[in-house]
Amino acid sequence: MALTDYFARKPEFDIFPLEAADLPQAAAIHELRFTPCWSDGELHALLVQDTVFGFIARQSNALTRPITGGFVLARVAAGEAEILTIGVDPKFARLGLGWRLMRAAIREARDQAAETVFLEVDETNIAAVGLYRKLGFAKVGERRAYYQGVNGAKTAALVMRLDLG
Ligand SMILES: CC(C)(COP(=O)(O)OP(=O)(O)OC[C@H]1O[C@@H](n2cnc3c(N)ncnc32)[C@H](O)[C@@H]1OP(=O)(O)O)[C@@H](O)C(=O)NCCC(=O)NCCS
């Protein structure tokens, strides 16, 4: 393989448990994807809780500092899991990272004896709603006028659930 090919190759990603050292990269992705976003300190305050865990998509074929593709943060308590947030760098959208991160979180929730996974999503978030439906989540509720869009319009939050039984 020519050296130029070696440097130009596409990043490949593996999914790893999210650790405190990953949080600056996770916060950078949150900033790209959410307004308001969560700082690495806010993410840290969540991750140190016993009930909270996460996963990160990190480049596995890096020559130098690996690229972060996305991350997910979730919580399990009393048999119920909740997806707290998920974000994928737009540069790596639609490559299956969201799916892989969610599958890792769902597997961990099941390992921690969760029977259901809940999440909330803006009804207009086509990518996320599509991802959750593909994973088997179903709408179980709706909070009207829950989110405020950039143009001031209010949109509903869908409450979605996946049964792990
Ligand atoms: C939602 C998000 C995490 C999806 O991540 P992703 O890595 O791009 O998604 P994937 O490639 O894993 O897609 C898996 C499935 O989700 C659905 N999906 C993803 N992006 C989509 C889009 N733009 N339009 C429609 N469906 C989409 C599809 O069903 C897709 O399967 P397919 O590619 O076989 O059709 C990503 O768009 C994101 O970070 N959005 C901003 C943050 C956000 O909204 N988080 C959720 C808040 S509740």
Domain boundaries, the chain: 10-163
Residue 21 has pLDDT above 60, yes or no: yes
Q: Which atom of ligand 1 is nearest to the CA of 99?
A: 12
Domain range 10-163, CATH architecture: 3-Layer(aba) Sandwich (3.40)
Q: Using one digit for the tens of pLDDT, what is the confidence trace for 31-68?
A: 999 999 999 999 999 999 999 999 999 999 988 889 99
**Predicted local confidence at residue 148, as pLDDT:** 86
* Ligand 1 proximity of 94 Cβ (cutoff 6 Å): yes
Rounded CA gap, 40 and 101, in Å?
19
**Predicted local confidence at residue 2, as pLDDT:** 58
Mutating to test ligand 1, I would choose from 32, 73, 88 the residue with most ligand atoms within 8 A of its C-beta, which is 88
Q: Using one digit for the tens of pLDDT, what is the confidence trace for 123-158?
A: 999 999 999 999 999 999 999 999 987 788 899 999
Residue partners of 140: CB distance under 8 A and separation at least 6: 159, 160, 161
**Mean predicted confidence (pLDDT) in 112-117:** 98
Residue 10 has pLDDT above 90, yes or no: no
Indicate if the alpha-carbon torsion angle 72, 88, 144, 153 is positive or negative.
Answer: positive
Q: Which atom of ligand 1 is nearest to the CA of 130?
A: 17
Per residue in 50-60, is it b (16+ CB within 10 Å) or e — as a string? eebbbbbbbbe
**Predicted local confidence at residue 31, as pLDDT:** 97
Q: How far is the CA of 97 from the centre of ligand 1 (A)?
A: 8
Rounded CA gap, 101 and 86, in Å?
8
Q: How many CA atoms lie within 13 A of 121 on its CB side?
A: 23
Angle at 25 between CA 129 and CA 136, to 5 degrees: 20
Mutating to test ligand 1, I would choose from 99, 129, 161 the residue with most ligand atoms within 8 A of its C-beta, which is 99
Q: How far is the CA of 4 from the centre of ligand 1 (A)?
A: 32
Residue 79 has pLDDT above 80, yes or no: yes
Rounded CA gap, 105 and 71, in Å?
10
